[in-house]
A and B are shown apart, each in its own frame.
Chain A
Amino acid sequence: MRDPIVDVGCQMNRRHFFSKLSLGIGSAALASLVGCGPSSNEMAAKTTLQGVLSSPHLTPKARRVIYLFQSGGPSQLELFDYKPTLQSMRGEDLPESIRMGQRLTGMTAFQDSLPLASSIYSFSQHGSSGTWMSELLPYTSKIVDDLCIVRSMYTEAINHDPAITFFQTGSQLPGRPSIGAWLSYGLGSANEDLPTFCVLLSRGLQRPQPIYSRLWGNGFLAALHQGVKFGAGAEPVLYLNNPPGLDATDRRSMLQQLDRLNEMHYQTSGDPAIQSRIAQYEMAYRMQTSVPDITDLSDEPESTFELYGEAARTPGTYAANCLLARRLAERDVRFIQLYHMGWDQHGNLPHDIALQCKDTDQASAALVTDLKQRGLLDDTLVIWGGEFGRTNYSQGELTEINYGRDHHPRCFTLWMAGGGVKSGLTYGATDEFGYNITENPVHVHDFQATVLHLLGIEHERLTYRHQGRRFRLTDVHGHVVQDLLA
């Protein structure tokens, strides 16, 4: 019979080393130290980040996620949600029977009239699914049969900051972990050389709405669950490069001595945290090789750039980030979060949205196509969408060629592909004005619950206890949208 205190101790230590200290490697070492748990070589050899879930709640359909976040709120009315009625009623005021007194932002709340604005871009049907798509998205139009398009997304927030925070953390207010951090916490990492949660940024228009590092923050979870931001410059991850003058050989000999000294200290002190620290240095060293390997595109054939577009050659563009996302997915990075800024078209919408589409359409479609060709789409969930939609009336003056649209949380469109979602599906519907949802509304928390479900997690069961209660990504809400599952 085992000593109960030791049992308690084992649990505590596991908890410590899973959730507090490190990559979880410490747990094996520690477990053997205190004489409990499997201390086999098999366990000790594991140096990847382990999640709190020993196994998923459900059979996962997706092993990883690539989330193409379109920051600023892309207009569903120019891209996905075809509304002929707006054409016929163009310029007329939004009927009160449709608006129903719902709140507007301070930017249009005091506008004299709310003239309905139809898209100046035309729509047509594509694919064997006959999906309606805008002429702004010629490439995406070609892959509609691979997409699961949700036209009935809605959110609660009406301004960028709370709305993006809501999408990424399940709460409008700062302080909660982001989706990627939850997955890192729950599932751990699937690879040994790269962070499990990677973040890639790009921007369209010159001064887009900003984003915030809390969007890939760990909230109250341990810092090791933070997303790691990849940059476009000479140093793809902060502080990855050795200082000038110090080469890889120097670094290796230095780390060898460091290891030796840390090991000596461990022998006298017996603190398992030292073992964990040693492993962190090893991982850091591996990252110094693996990250540049990932970001070096010189091994990509010409056909890749034909697929993703020439812009994919320029680091930091959306196209380059889509390509990088595929490379990370190939190496089993679990959560790859892209942000493309610049969709906030309050004015000059016809001009500006065309530019945004030019930057994003080809590469988004290319990513899906590429994953499919490589057999990765089946277990990779690709998500494309922003934080809210845009109003069906014009912000500012409506002219023949120009108009703007304000934020609209009541309906917008998002698409997914691969990873266990139905393909060729268009789900949900909005009224003829594109103002309210008439069919199958999907709340942000429902979307989050569904994403977790696809990854094999029951959203109500992945929790973290903080400030006296169990927190989860979906707060106390959310339902898996079964209709979207393949």
Chain B
Amino acid sequence: MYLSRTLGLLTLLCLGACQAPLDSSELPDTIDYNWHVKPILSDRCYVCHGPDDRARQASLRLDTQDGAYGVSRNDSTRHIIVPGDASASVLMHHISSEDPSQQMPPPESNLSLSQQEIDILRRWIDQGAVWKPHWAFTPPQRSELPEVHHEDWVLHPIDAFILSKIELAGLTPSKQANPEQLLRRVTFDLTGLPPTPSELNAFLADTQPAAYERVVDQLLSRPTYGQRMASMWLDIARYADTHGYQDDRPRTMWPWRDWVVRAFNENLPYDEFVTWQIAGDLLPNPTFEQRLATGFNRNHAITQEGGVVAQEYLTEYVADRTNTTGTAFLGLTMECARCHDHKYDPILIEEYYGMFAFFNGIDEQAQISYFDLAPQPSIPYENPALEAFITRTHHAVDSLEEVIDSWPQTAPPLDWTADPNTTLNANLLDFLPLDTIENLATPSVHGRHGKANTGLEKLLPSPKMISGRRGHAMEFDGENFLNIGEDADFEWYDRFSLSSWIWTQDQPKNVAIVSKRNGEQKRGGYDLARTDQGNLLLRLIHDNEHLISVSSTETIPHNQWVHVSATYDGSGRANGVRLYINGLRTTTRVNSDNLDQESILNGNGLLVGHWTPRNQTRDDIEGMKRGAVDDLYVHARDLTALEVAYLADQPYHSHEIAHYQAHHDHAFQDAIDALDDLRSKITRIPHVMIMEEMEAPRTTFVLDRGAYDVPMDSVGPSIPEVILPFPEEFPRNRLGLAQWITHDENPLTARVAVNRFWQLLFGAGLVQTPEDFGNQGALPTHPELLDHLAVTFIDSDYDIKALIKQIVMSATYRQSNQRTPTLNERDPDNLLLARAPRKRLSAEMIRDNALLVSGLLNPVMGGEPVRPYQPAGLWKALANQIGENRYRMGPDVHRRSIYTYWKRTIPPPSMLTFDAPDRSVCTVERQMTSTPLQSLILLNDPQYVEAARVLASRVSAVVGTSDRERIGLAFQWLTSRVPQPEEINALSELFTTQSTQFKEDPDRALQLVSVGQHQVEPDVQISQLAAMTVVTSTIMNLDEAQYR
């Protein structure tokens, strides 16, 4: 299949040797080593007769001239290849033999040669067996522009190279695309977003010849250009927001991601882009950004799994950097030389570990701690805007706290009386009366039901029902407990209250009453307990050093029902805790007051009667032995003293000022809301991973078969010499490596780069295997063009925007994508580019498009990753999360897709379904598939349903338009063209049917338009909006809307 592809190309592309297409049984007149012969030898013979010394059979190698022309081991009078005489060549004897003992490749290899391939080899030998070096390992050369007939079609040198092959095949290029198609194409290609109807109209109206160029320049200067380019680079850099193994905890690499966007927008030359990422820290007096850029080589996965063997993982990390460097910058499959010499390319195992040695010198840990967001080496993020934001937030919190503290203590109006029975429902998360238990389950009146003994041995007795303060109560035995589930997920800045009746025995132990803590690691979380001294205790815990711990100075009476309550005001301070016993506020002792605004989130359930579902004793706290709990309330706010007294059946002061303020003083409530919001925004300067050499570098060893525990000879830093010898004057460190990679004579770097940008714009590279420019890779369809672009790129000092501009300005790029029977027949794969490719939008584009056309897109750039809608429980079904499940509705839900939180082991499913890689390894090419799951996403995923509805509102809000015009406008937003009348007819028909449906059933209409957080505009006719939503959703699902 592979050879057929090559031959197919050759039939069309072989230079001058063939004027007319050939029958496949015929051979090219002139056989070329690189084009015709080596693909066969490499693919079928090199495994045993290639560069790998250790695997070589019969001492024969066919990848070098010496080997191929040498004498046969079995018969020293004969040569493997005798130039000019196939029949005398031992090679021909073996490949044409039908005797299994002689036949090559041997039958057990599962490889074989077709008759045509054998004939090619025979003709090549007969024609003199002329040997040539591998095309990609010789520096690119600028060649003369080929002559073409239709010179007027040529706008740019690119076009001459393309046209000459089209003409050789006897075809003609396509006419220029219509302006709608062209604008859609170039806008998506350069910014990842569609043109708006007004941009489209402006472009249509501009008939000046320079109109297109102006658009291109404008697009290249948009900040969205950098985001588009970055989405490509993040795949290559295997960027993610998590560490990638096991529980896959978060990491802070987003400052690096933001740097990538900036680098593209500021048009950092490609050689510097590469150098900074490989060795920015080794540049003289490196800037913060240069050091930050080296995060490229820390983006690989890092394990947090307990019990790993350190050396095994350290080896993997360095290997990942080595492989990624090979793939990303050089188009080399370096990893094939990790266990043995490369089977196909001249890369020795020693050279692999030579490259490995460049990356083996940083002081990193194999297994990082569970909470480490930026494992060493790392640096604080230098970002003046963020620093200013942090200062501003702190100031604002301080002054707002002052305002609230000094709030006028005005007595409530006389006609007001507190009604705690009602106010207690506000922010009530859970109320469990604990009156019954059946099959280990107890119902709640509000919130979640409780389930006893989850995860414990089934023989363990269920909590018992005993006579309670009200009705029954639940008695625990010190081992069992009740689990209310993942509720009450409070962070340090959240207000909350825990209240219940308890009955305890006199025992000198700390026992948990209500608790939500992580049983392992730092054991973070919060708990309400009775201490061994009989005091009430509330703790908010980040770890051993960072916690708030407050206990009552009064004690809880034993052997009777006592009401206990704890409230916390979200201040992050011990004085924000209030403790109540029997409805009366007690004096407190502060045991610890240094939570320091650190997180207390954990992913565990809220427990009653124990502190951990594993039934363990830790930090001297354990389960509640022969104790009971009744009427448990969990509130997501700090209850007032009045409310606590009410819960405790105590008399209360019905005109309490604090209660009035909390529930009736709107200005006070606004101030509290603002304070809570501000506190939740408190953040600190994060650290970010970088590369930094350790003082005494590690020794690198060649590893036998790549195994970390079988070191052989030590090696120093080196590179595959066959590509370009390492200049003496370069330092033997990462900086020297970067200089070698970006050396103008490095034959690979510029070719790999220009090929990648070509691929970005045409969907396929001139070399269709962007990950492999070696012997097994595809040959360039247009080698002279590739070289022309590479040399021009080098001469422009690696100006990326200039490169992109010349490609999109070419006539080749601007062609129509219209298929014709002739082209379908003659060049179905469009290798000649006699028409423009029609490309499906990428995963990011699909989503960003929906957001933009609906007007939902939040254009804020950069910063921490965000969490758009995601099916509930997606992560929880697979992993433990430790508080990661929280996300808040708000404008961040509608940010561009490159800012979506990328959890490497469970990436956003809708992105994966649209072919995004999971980012576990460097990926340089995405597949473009079409699957039923994609259809389900576009039809049903709330983010698309919401976008369709908001687009429907948008077009419906255009005054003075008919329904047909509105449909037309939506069509234009989504496809960048004006629909044909029959297209509008189909959609109008749908609109009419749906309007009728929804008028008859307005509830359904309301449900449909209520999907998503975006509020429905007031005064909208819901049934009409719902019907229009069905129409816009239909257009969004058109094949055309998913293409550019």
A residues apposed to B, CB below 8 Å: 1, 3-9, 11-13, 15-16, 20-23, 33-35, 103, 105-108, 158-161, 173-175, 195, 201, 205-214, 217, 222-224, 226, 228-229, 231, 233, 235, 237-247, 249-251, 253-254, 257-258, 260-262, 264-266, 269-271, 273-274, 276-278, 280-281, 283-284, 287-288, 351-352, 354-355, 358, 406-407, 458, 460-461, 465-469
Q: How far is the CA of A354 from the CA of B913 in the complex (A)?
A: 39
Residues of B within 8 A of A280 (CB): 930-932, 934-935
Residues of B within 8 A of A228 (CB): 933
Q: How far is the CB of A452 from chain B (nearest CB, A)?
A: 14
Among B7, B305, B936, B1009, the residue within 8 A (CB) of A287 is B936
Which of the 9-residue segments B259-267, B740-748, B1000-1008 touches chain A? Answer: B1000-1008
B8:A12 contact, CB within 8 angstroms = yes
B455:A205 contact, CB within 8 angstroms = yes
Q: List 11 A-B contacts (CB under 8 A).
A: A34-B828, A103-B309, A210-B246, A212-B878, A213-B912, A231-B877, A238-B937, A243-B945, A467-B327, A467-B333, A467-B771
Whether, in the assembled complex, B928 has its beta carbon less than 8 Å from a beta carbon of chain A, the answer is yes
Residues of A within 8 A of B24 (CB): 4, 7-8
Residue of A nearest to B982 (CB): A264
Residue of A nearest to B460 (CB): A351
4 nearest interchain CB pairs? A245-B1008, A245-B1007, A8-B8, A468-B776
Q: How far is the CB of B942 from chain A (nearest CB, A)?
A: 7
Residues of B within 8 A of A1 (CB): 23
B305:A160 contact, CB within 8 angstroms = yes
Whether, in the assembled complex, B87 has its beta carbon less than 8 Å from a beta carbon of chain A, the answer is no
A5:B306 contact, CB within 8 angstroms = no
Q: How far is the CA of A245 from the CA of B248 in the complex (A)?
A: 37
B932:A284 contact, CB within 8 angstroms = yes
B residues apposed to A, CB below 8 Å: 1-2, 4-5, 7-8, 11-12, 21-24, 110, 244-248, 301, 303, 305-310, 316, 327, 333, 335-336, 343-345, 367, 454-455, 457-458, 519-520, 604-605, 613-614, 709, 769, 771-772, 774-777, 817-820, 824-829, 838, 840, 871-873, 877-880, 905-907, 909-910, 912-915, 918, 920-921, 927-937, 939-942, 945, 980, 982-983, 986-987, 989-990, 993-994, 997, 1003-1011, 1026, 1030, 1033-1034, 1037-1040, 1042
Q: How far is the CA of A156 from the CA of B905 in the complex (A)?
A: 22
Q: How far is the CA of A207 from the CA of B454 in the complex (A)?
A: 11
Using A12-B5, A161-B245 as known contacts, list a sample of 20 further A-B pairs with CB atoms less than 8 Å apart, ordered by residue number in A: A3-B825, A5-B11, A158-B307, A159-B305, A159-B307, A210-B246, A212-B248, A224-B930, A226-B912, A231-B871, A243-B1008, A244-B1007, A254-B1030, A262-B1038, A277-B930, A277-B1042, A280-B930, A283-B935, A465-B2, A468-B771
B336:A174 contact, CB within 8 angstroms = no
A257:B987 contact, CB within 8 angstroms = yes
With contact pairs A34-B825, A212-B906 given, residues A261 and B986 touching in the complex (Cβ less than 8 Å): yes
B8:A5 contact, CB within 8 angstroms = yes
Q: How far is the CB of B117 from chain A (nearest CB, A)?
A: 15
Residues of B within 8 A of A458 (CB): 110
Residues of B within 8 A of A467 (CB): 327, 333, 335-336, 769, 771-772
Residue of B nearest to A6 (CB): B825
Residues of B within 8 A of A288 (CB): 936
Q: How far is the CB of B583 from chain A (nearest CB, A)?
A: 35
Q: How far is the CB of A136 from chain B (nearest CB, A)?
A: 13
Q: How far is the CA of A239 from the CA of B980 in the complex (A)?
A: 31
Q: How far is the CB of A318 from chain B (nearest CB, A)?
A: 14
Q: How far is the CA of A222 from the CA of B914 in the complex (A)?
A: 10
Q: How far is the CB of B703 from chain A (nearest CB, A)?
A: 15
Residue of B nearest to A4 (CB): B24
> How many residue pairs at the A-B interface have CB separations less than 8 Å?
319
Q: How far is the CA of A233 from the CA of B877 in the complex (A)?
A: 11
B940:A242 contact, CB within 8 angstroms = yes
Residue of A nearest to B987 (CB): A257
Interface SS majority for chain B: loop
Residues of A within 8 A of B820 (CB): 270
Q: How far is the CA of A287 from the CA of B931 in the complex (A)?
A: 12
A105:B829 contact, CB within 8 angstroms = no
Among B309, B937, B989, the residue within 8 A (CB) of A239 is B937
Residues of A within 8 A of B306 (CB): 105-107
A261:B1 contact, CB within 8 angstroms = no
Q: How far is the CB of A331 from chain B (nearest CB, A)?
A: 16
Among B309, B316, B941, the residue within 8 A (CB) of A173 is B316
Residues of B within 8 A of A214 (CB): 905, 918, 920
Q: How far is the CB of B924 from chain A (nearest CB, A)?
A: 9
Q: How far is the CA of A108 from the CA of B283 in the complex (A)?
A: 44
B940:A243 contact, CB within 8 angstroms = yes
Among B4, B336, B1009, the residue within 8 A (CB) of A11 is B4
Residues of A within 8 A of B987 (CB): 257, 261
Among B11, B367, B827, B935, the residue within 8 A (CB) of A284 is B935
Among B1, B920, B927, the residue within 8 A (CB) of A174 is B920
Residues of A within 8 A of B1005 (CB): 245
Q: How far is the CB of B411 from chain A (nearest CB, A)?
A: 48
Q: How far is the CA of A233 from the CA of B986 in the complex (A)?
A: 36
Q: How far is the CA of A270 from the CA of B913 in the complex (A)?
A: 25
Q: How far is the CA of A174 from the CA of B1030 in the complex (A)?
A: 41
Residue of B nearest to A270 (CB): B819
Q: How far is the CA of A453 from the CA of B303 in the complex (A)?
A: 35
A9:B21 contact, CB within 8 angstroms = no
Q: How far is the CA of A401 from the CA of B308 in the complex (A)?
A: 28
A355:B930 contact, CB within 8 angstroms = no
With contact pairs A9-B829, A173-B316 given, residues A468 and B11 touching in the complex (Cβ less than 8 Å): no
B819:A271 contact, CB within 8 angstroms = yes
B940:A407 contact, CB within 8 angstroms = no
With contact pairs A34-B825, A461-B110 given, residues A246 and B1 touching in the complex (Cβ less than 8 Å): no
Residues of B within 8 A of A158 (CB): 307-309
B825:A223 contact, CB within 8 angstroms = no
B1038:A258 contact, CB within 8 angstroms = yes
Q: How far is the CB of B798 from chain A (nearest CB, A)?
A: 26
B308:A460 contact, CB within 8 angstroms = no
Residues of B within 8 A of A205 (CB): 455
Q: How far is the CA of A4 from the CA of B825 in the complex (A)?
A: 10
Residues of B within 8 A of A274 (CB): 1039
Among B333, B945, B983, B1037, the residue within 8 A (CB) of A469 is B333
A213:B458 contact, CB within 8 angstroms = no
Among B23, B457, B931, the residue within 8 A (CB) of A354 is B457
A237:B936 contact, CB within 8 angstroms = yes
Among B22, B818, B828, the residue within 8 A (CB) of A13 is B828
B930:A21 contact, CB within 8 angstroms = yes
Max chain A Cβ within 10 angstroms of own Cβ: one of B307, B709, B772, B912: B307
With contact pairs A237-B936, A238-B909, A354-B457 given, residues A12 and B878 touching in the complex (Cβ less than 8 Å): no
Q: How far is the CB of B928 from chain A (nearest CB, A)?
A: 7
Q: How far is the CA of A287 from the CA of B878 in the complex (A)?
A: 24
Residues of A within 8 A of B983 (CB): 261, 264
Residue of B nearest to A468 (CB): B776
Q: How far is the CA of A168 from the CA of B814 in the complex (A)?
A: 45
Q: How far is the CA of A163 from the CA of B921 in the complex (A)?
A: 18
Q: How far is the CB of B54 from chain A (nearest CB, A)?
A: 13
Residues of A within 8 A of B825 (CB): 3, 5-6, 9, 34-35
Q: How far is the CA of A241 from the CA of B605 in the complex (A)?
A: 29
Q: How far is the CA of A275 from the CA of B817 in the complex (A)?
A: 17
Residue of B nearest to A157 (CB): B312
B918:A241 contact, CB within 8 angstroms = no
Residue of B nearest to A246 (CB): B1008
Among A11, A210, A253, the residue within 8 A (CB) of B905 is A210
With contact pairs A4-B22, A8-B4 given, residues A281 and B918 touching in the complex (Cβ less than 8 Å): no
Q: How far is the CA of A281 from the CA of B457 in the complex (A)?
A: 48
Q: How far is the CA of A228 from the CA of B8 in the complex (A)?
A: 37
A241:B986 contact, CB within 8 angstroms = no
Q: How far is the CB of B169 from chain A (nearest CB, A)?
A: 9
A105:B23 contact, CB within 8 angstroms = no
Residue of A nearest to B942 (CB): A243
Q: How far is the CA of A288 from the CA of B939 in the complex (A)?
A: 11
